[in-house]
Amino acid sequence: MIPLRDTTKSRTFPFVNYGFMAVCGIVFMYELTLGPALRAFVDTYGIIPEQVSSTLFTGRLSQHAIITLFTSPFIHGGWFHLLGNMLYLYIFGDNVEDRLGHAAYVLFYLLCGIGSGLAQVYFDQHSAMPLIGASGAIAGVLGAYFFLYPRARVLTLIPLFIFFPVVELSALFFLGIWFLMQFIQGSLSAGSDGGGVAWWAHAGGFVVGATLLPIFLLAKRA
């Protein structure tokens, strides 16, 4: 399922959301200039689960491993990876920023990115494959949207072989199916590399976002 737009209008201009999108785009443009050095860049700034797990679970503190929890969400592995993530962030992020407020949304997004990375590390502690991409942080945004706007409608393209119907689905259904797919894929990928997709970062990010949401809403009312 490919979301095309939602029906929820923001009351404020989502400049933070656009800022995150811009940073991802700028970093990706920089990646395109690296040539053979790209692999070293990804290895340096992407999350390496075995390095992070060693830092967290053995007490051998590695400042570099911690820093990658912040840098990896802004690195992408290709045009499809980048554009797919930015589409979801564009559609759902503005409304979450609108509800939380601009400053709070910055912290919320970064915490979702960190939490999603740690979720993948937990389930894949011995992997040396770099974890990159904004999808975990965006999954946190989806988790918040799921509870904030369950009755919103999402115009959705459904690829069915040679047919491409466009239907309007409730956010509750669309995001519920999305989360279920990530959870199932994560469960099926246990003991493998998941085909290069960090399924547990997606599922974990969704849960982190849903969990953080009431905390941020309470803080906003205080």
pLDDT over 90, % of the chain: 76
Mean pLDDT for the chain? 92
| The listed CATH number (1.10.1840.10, 1.20.1730.10, 1.20.140.10, 1.20.1540.10) that belongs to domain 2-221 | 1.20.1540.10
pLDDT at 192: 60
In this structure, are strands 2-6 and 153-157 parallel, antiparallel, or unpaired? antiparallel
3-state helix, strand, coil in the chain (%, to 5): 70, 10, 25
pLDDT of residue 220 exceeding 60: yes
Contacts of 142 (CB under 8 A, 6+ apart): 88, 92, 175, 178, 179, 205, 206, 209
pLDDT at 37: 96
pLDDT at 58: 67
pLDDT of residue 195 exceeding 60: no
Q: Give the other-Cβ count within 10 Å of 163's Cβ.
A: 7
**What average pLDDT does range 136-149 have in this prediction?**
97
pLDDT at 190: 66
pLDDT over 70, % of the chain: 94
**What average pLDDT does range 38-52 have in this prediction?**
93
Q: How far apart are CA 103 and CA 185, in angstroms?
A: 34
pLDDT at 194: 55
Q: How far apart are CA 69 and CA 59, in angstroms?
A: 17
162 vs 118, residue with greater confidence: 118
pLDDT at 221: 83
pLDDT at 153: 96
State pLDDT tens for residues 115-135: 999 999 998 888 889 999 999
User: Please, which pLDDT band fits residue 1 given cuts at 50, 70 and 90?
Assistant: confident
**What average pLDDT does range 95-114 have in this prediction?**
97
State pLDDT tens for residues 2-18: 999 999 999 999 999 99
**What average pLDDT does range 20-48 have in this prediction?**
96
Q: How far apart are CA 169 and CA 103, in angstroms?
A: 31
